[in-house]
Amino acid sequence: MSTTDKYIEIKNTHPEMRKCFVAFGNSQFEEGKVKAGIMPDEKIHSYGACLYGTKEGLDEYMNALDVILTRISKECDPQDVYEYEFSNHECGYTGDDTDAIKLIVAYFGEETAKTVKRRNGWADIDELFNPERKEADNEVINKLPM
């Protein structure tokens, strides 16, 4: 099995959501509590990004996601993952590989990401995570005629 196939297999692994759920509105929130088996007396926490649950449920879910990320970083080749994500995002027709390279940084770290042969890299790794660059980009965008 190639590391690309291994990456797809691992990436498509979804941890079981016990005592946690995703909700985008009040009705989904109420339904989610019931489906997750959360009792009325249990405290519900918001993790952000519409993820809710008990502290234990959220911890278990996030730990399971960490296991997936660790598996990717240990079992997959960064170049293969980059090529897959480059093709899987809008990178090819926008000419910007930012989404793909940010995933490589998340999975493998900045130093490993710097070794990946990039296609259409608009900014180097250091620039992508530099808050001053974002501020400078915003200044340019604000000067554009709308």
Q: What is the pLDDT of residues 90-137, one digit of tens each?
A: 887 788 898 899 999 999 999 999 999 998 777 788 887 776 665 666
- Whole-number Cα distances in Å, 121 to 19, 22, 91, 116: 41, 34, 10, 11
Instruction: Return the domain boundaries, the chain.
Output: 1-76, 78-146
- Name the residue with higher pLDDT: 123 or 75: 75
Looking at the chain, the number of H-run helices and the number of E-run strands are 9, 3
pTM: 0.79
Residue 20 near residue 36, CB atoms below 8 Å: yes
State the Cα angle at 133 between 131 and 138, rounded to 5°.
100
Report the run of H or E that residue 74 belongs to, with start and end: helix 55-75
Dist. CA 31–CA 65, nearest whole Å? 23
Which residues on adjacent β-strands are paired with residue 1?
A: none
